[in-house]
Structure 1
């Protein structure tokens, strides 16, 4: 069937092909946000394992949060879990930018699933900061915002995937 018979002009066809071949902007944004989260979680992990002497915090509650009994989960610092999640999200986003994987549903599902778990976990930690620890860690709040943005950016990928 010719493009004219299908109701498409050559210009429409080339635009559709370019759109399909170009990497999704949401995955680029997810990669950048995951990189920012990776830096923050690496910083907090280095503090938690004793590689940094003092944590830099403009609001003053970071040390209290980072030394609370809630700062570890299953024997690992919470920030190390975040580090692993952000590394994985960064890898998935970069993989999802490759032409071979742009439309793969499993990439979209993995980005969505991991970021959804991250949002729930961050919500729990934010609750603990507010109502149990009674202190705020600015880095934790920024991380919660980053994972929420990553989650929101993962939603269009579910529709666009095969």
Structure 2
């Protein structure tokens, strides 16, 4: 499996999780499955669950969907060695990583809470950030001379 396909799968899973959290927040998903800690409701309902009036889970759903689409298109045979999908993924993943740092700071330090679903997203975006460095190095490496 190519790195971009792996990125697409991780992004798809996280897009589904973020969509679930958004649907819960707007009252369309019933109760929130959170492992009994109650932290999800607390974190999601806090002022940090919103950014500029937009639900953070919705921002995540849209962002992860865009990452999924770019990684999927970038996995097509004609684009697998092109640099533009890696650059587009960087433009999506790196700001998301910085945004996640802000959210984790608010969750742990300010709110002193814990949301397992948010942790899944934080770990995933961190992994995607590391993978973007590897992918960029792959597509920008000088081609080996022909034997």
Which of 76, 98, 121 is the equivalent residue of 1:120? 98
Which of 45, 48, 68 is the equivalent residue of 1:90? 68
- Give runs of ≥4 in structure 1 deviating > 4 Å: none
* Superposed displacement of residue 160, structure 1: 2.4
**What residue is the counterpart of 2:131 in the other structure?**
153
- TM-score with structure 2 setting the length: 0.89
| Alpha-carbon distance in structure 1 between the residues aligned to 2:12 and 2:29 | 20
Which of 134, 143, 150 is the equivalent residue of 2:121? 143
**What residue is the counterpart of 1:81 in the other structure?**
59
* Superposed displacement of residue 60, structure 1: 2.2
Tell me whether 1:100 sits opposite 2:75 in the alignment: no
**What residue is the counterpart of 1:35 in the other structure?**
12
Query: How many residues end up aligned between the 2 structures?
Result: 139
After superposition, the C-alpha distances for 1:44-64 in whole angstroms (9 at most, x for unaligned) are 010111112321111320000
**Contiguous gaps of at least 5 residues in structure 2:** 141-147
| Alpha-carbon distance in structure 2 between the residues aligned to 1:148 and 1:86 | 13
- TM-score with structure 1 setting the length: 0.81
* Superposed displacement of residue 78, structure 1: 0.2
Superposed CA RMSD: 1.3
**Contiguous gaps of at least 5 residues in structure 1:** 1-23
* Superposed displacement of residue 113, structure 1: 2.3
Q: Are 1:26 and 1:154, in contact at CA under 8 Å, matched by a contact in 2? A: no
* Superposed displacement of residue 39, structure 1: 1.1
SS at match of 1:100: helix
| Alpha-carbon distance in structure 1 between the residues aligned to 2:24 and 2:39 | 14
For the pair shown, which has the larger CA radius of gyration, 1 or 2?
Answer: 1
Q: Are 1:95 and 1:101, in contact at CA under 8 Å, matched by a contact in 2? A: yes
